[in-house]
Structure 1
Amino acid sequence: MAEDKSPEEQMNNLAVNDDDDVVDPWNVSGKSETGIDYDKLIKRFGSSKIDDEVIQRFEKVTGKKAHHLLRRGIFFSHRDIHSILNLVEAGKKFYLYTGRGPSSDSMHLGHMIPFMFTKWLQDVFDVPLIIQLTDDEKVLWRDIKVEQARQMAHTNAKDIIAVGFSPENTFIFNDLDFIGQCPAFYQNMLRIQKCVTFNQVKGIFGFGDSDVIGKITFPSIEAAPAFSTSFPFIFDNKVVPCLVPCAIDQDPYFRMTRDVAARLKMPKPALLHSSFLPALQGAQHKMSASDPNASIFLNDTAKQIKNKINKYAFSGGQATVDEHREKGGNTEVDISYKYLTFFLEDDQRLAEIKKSYESGEMLTGELKKIAVDTVTPVITDYQARRALVTDDVMQDFFRIRRIKF
């Protein structure tokens, strides 16, 4: 198993060569048209690959077939997942923690991936879930006022709830409101801040001398939910291990957190890392809320989804029909096919589509239609659930209370 890199080694986690992919909490871009080289990223970050052995162990411990996002390598990397599976086998509990930095009024399809998988984890392990909305982060990094950030946090919370979470075992909070209400959370923030030097945090996150001071302390806020003592109203100050499902770009926060955990005599959080849902224009970039033509939003209509995929989804097909029939399409770069790997659950059907497209039997237009027909019901079903999430429903999740544990 890969070991965590030391704070000094973490200082080199950003792109170090011109041919490196850029993956950090604020920037993601690949050098190849096939997208991010995730195997290379595992080596650079010092995590461990989710291989067949890990997947088989998941299935043995849970007694259920692994989620398709796990089977297909979309969740591809981990830190200490075996420690969590050992706990389950011993009849002990853990909790889940994930989050979202609200930066738009509506989330897009890419934002859904960690939450979809987290919902599966919560269901198969029957454990509590804590979701942090880092609205304070967006105030610090973007030209967004506090009031705007709070509003986006509340709107995004409704988007997240519509994934299917229950208030019985899920607690959601936004930093701008919660931190002042929970002394234990702020106290853990301070404990974390005392363990990380200014030089280390600059190296891990690439901060510069002209960055505002709030950025320097923010990592302690994202780290604090990984310690159960931050939530005494849920865990009664018991030390409970934590599992964090998140996109790989958030890993620097938790490399820091795991280093701090040992010094605070707390268990290191385990992690499961997802790859990125690529932008419509190509796999070099992830879907972004800042570009409406690069993303499929959760409030897009069926017509908008169809138009976006047909017009913007990068094709791995050939220039002409005859050439495509002869050479076949390239699923390594075709965005419609990549979306099917995320949202088409039928493994056999996916394999048939891959074979047909790569042989040239299936044309790009046909593949795009399958992508439209697959993604659209995911969004429309979601929108039906989202319509039921009122302000009162949202407040149930935000209420400081004991949840099922």
Structure 2
Amino acid sequence: MHDDTTSDAQPANQTADADDSSDFTVTPYDVEGTVDYDRLLEQFGADRLTDAQIRRFPDHPMLRRRVFYAGRDVDRYLAAAEAGETHSIVTGIGPSGPMHLGHVLVFYLAKRLQEATGAYVYIPLSDDEKFYAKDLSFDEIEAATRSNLRDLLAVGFDPERTRIVVDRLDADVLYPQAARVAAGITQSTVDATYGDPDNVGLSFYPAMQATHLLLPQLVHGRHPTLVPIAVDQDPHVRVCRDVAAKERFAADKPAALLGKFLPALDGPGKMSSSSDAPAIELTDDRKTVREKVMDYAHSGGRVDIDEHREHGGDPAVDVAYQYLHTFFEPDDERVEELAAQYRSGELLTGELKEIAAERIGEFLAGHQEHRAALGDLETELDPYRLTEDERARLRPSVFE
């Protein structure tokens, strides 16, 4: 495992050699090309999850199938969960538009972990970061925030053990802690980890991200925290681990659980609202899902039916299959059966797309039913907000 006595902060950008045909870039603000996940582990200094570690997690297809495939210090978190000791999960979102499939799956994983072990779950919404990083007004970001909050509430977290925080809404308790954290992060660390920030807001923002990841410990005391995220967000965890290692913060280094991207419909990068192909949004109906999958999903099949029947397709590059494998077909045997049928040519690309569209449509119908059942947003959100006692623990005293 990674040595706790060393710094975790390393350059966030990973770009293959110029003569390598698989050039790719992964940063918190940019993902391009076909990602080599093994090389990212070398770059980021994380460890591939072992079979034994996977078995210790509550059963979930994204863990069984190694969609979440690597991490740091997960044993410490698992030991606390197994012993019934305090443990927590932090995973959030930057609200810049409607949520899509690539956003929501990690929250369903977090819900599964909470149901199985009673973990605290903290969900930060970094609305201020999106103002620094995107060409969006505060009004546009607020509209996205309200929409995202409805989708997060629809997931169905336990309100007794879940806290949803919004940077601008909860600035009175978040900002003083972020200011304290910022004093423990050097500009050279920010530059080395993120590159040259576009503005001073992004230069400061790692302090706010570190505050997010330390929130459960600031509220509940020192304990193991797990951060399940896509690999592009790992730099935030590494900077926070450096902060936590400083004696004055008296916090355990948050553990990381790193996941692969849900590919864009046109492959191979992560699903994004800015992709050439449309993202599948959480409000899409079954007809819209089917149209998007049938029209845009990248195929691993052959150019014509006869050739496909003879030579078969490649599920490793077929986006419809990748969606089924990632989450939307829960039966492992069925997933393997679909892959075998596709490789043999028995299953055609159009048929595979139909299966994927149906499974995704079923999932979204259930999510939308829960979303539609929500009442007034402020009323629904209230049980998930920090309590006055919790806020008091986060407010610094003038006598400290």
Q: TM-score when scaled to structure 2?
A: 0.90
Is contact 1:310–1:368 with CA below 8 Å preserved after alignment? yes
Distance 1:159 1:129 in 2: 16
Aligned mate of 1:204, from 186, 189, 193 = 193
Shift in Å at residue 4 of structure 1? Answer: 6.9
Distance in 2, matches of 1:99 and 1:313, equals 27
Equivalent residue, structure 1, for 2:346: 361
1:333 alignment counterpart: 317
Alignment: residue pair count: 382
Work out whether 1:22 is the aligned partner of 2:35.
no
- 1:61 — aligned with what? none
Distance 2:372 2:276 in 1: 22
Determine which of 167, 192, 208 is the counterpart of 1:221. 208
Match among 250, 264, 275 for residue 265 of structure 1: 250
Secondary structure of 1:394's aligned partner: helix
Q: Deviations over 1:93-131 (max 9, x none)?
A: 111111000010x21011112111111111111121110
Contact conserved, 1:227 with 1:241, CA < 8 A, in 2? Answer: no
Change in CA separation of 1:190 and 1:24 when aligned onto 2, cut-off 3 Å: same
Q: Equivalent residues in 2 for 1:274-289 (5 A)? A: 274-283=259-268, 285-289=269-273
Task: Output the amino acid matched with 1:266.
Answer: A
The residue correspondences of 1:45-124 to structure 2 (distance < 5 A) are 45-58=44-57, 66-104=59-97, 106-124=98-116
Name the structure 1 match of 2:394: none
Work out whether residues 93 and 127 of structure 1, in 8 Å CA contact, stay in contact via their aligned partners in 2: yes
Paired with 1:292 and 1:333, the residues of 2 have a C-alpha distance of: 18
Counterpart residue type for residue 222 of structure 1: Q
1:2 CA displacement: 3.6
2:168 to 156, 166, 176: 176
Q: Distance in 2 between matches of 1:334 and 1:29?
A: 18
Which residue of structure 1 aligns with residue 158 of structure 2? 166
CA shift, 1:394, in A, is 2.5
Q: Which amino acid aligns with 1:272?
A: L
1:280-304 CA-to-partner distances (Å, cap 9, x unmatched) read: 0012x11112348331111112111
Q: State how far apart, in whole Å, the 2-side matches of 1:401 and 1:170 are.
A: 15
CA–CA separation in structure 2 for the residues paired with 1:267 and 1:87: 12
Query: Which residue is equivalent to 1:136?
Result: 128
Aligned to 2:234: 251
Task: Give 1:190's match in structure 2, choosing from 166, 179, 188.
Answer: 179
Once the two structures are superposed, what CA deviation does each residue of 1:338-378 show, in whole Å capped at 9, x if it has no partner? Answer: 01012100011111111111001111111111111111100
1:168 alignment partner, SS class: helix
Deviations 1:198-241, CA, capped at 9 Å, x for gaps: 12101101124xx2111111111111122247754xx2xx2233
Secondary structure at 1:296 match in 2: coil
Distance 2:297 2:81 in 1: 42
Compare 147-156 and 261-270 and name the one that shifted more: 147-156
Give the secondary-structure state (helix, strand or coil) at the position aligned to 2:253.
Answer: coil
Q: Displacement, 1:141?
A: 0.8
Could you tell me how far apart the structure 2 residues matched to 1:56 and 1:229 are?
25
In the alignment, does 2:390 pair up with 1:393?
Answer: no
Distance 1:334 1:402, change over 3 A: farther
Q: Which amino acid aligns with 1:193?
A: A
- Report the Cα distance in structure 2 between the residues aligned to 1:310 and 1:370, rounded to whole angstroms: 11
Provide the secondary structure at the position in 2 that maps to 1:10: coil
AA of the residue aligned to 1:191: R
Match of 1:318 in 2: 302
The alignment status of 1:383 with 2:368, answered yes or no, reads yes
Structure 1: give runs of 5+ residues left out of the alignment. 59-63
2:398 is aligned to none
Worse-superposed segment, 49-58 or 131-140: 49-58
- Describe the SS at the equivalent of 1:103: coil
C-alpha displacement of 1:177: 1.2
- Give the AA of the match of 1:84: Y
- 5 Å matches for 1:232-243? 232=219, 235=220, 238-243=221-226
- Paired with 2:177 and 2:153, the residues of 1 have a C-alpha distance of 27
Are 1:228 and 1:242, in contact at CA under 8 Å, matched by a contact in 2? no
Shift of 1:255: 0.4
Q: Which residue of 1 aligns with 2:37?
A: 38
Q: Secondary structure at the match of 2:245?
A: helix
Contact 2:71 2:258 in 1 (8 A): yes
The 2-side partners of 1:367 and 1:4 are apart by: 46
Give, as a single letter, the amino acid of the residue that structure 2 aligns with 1:262: A
Change (3 A) 1:340 1:274: same
Task: Give the CA deviation at 1:37.
Answer: 1.5
Distance 1:302 1:91, change over 3 A: closer
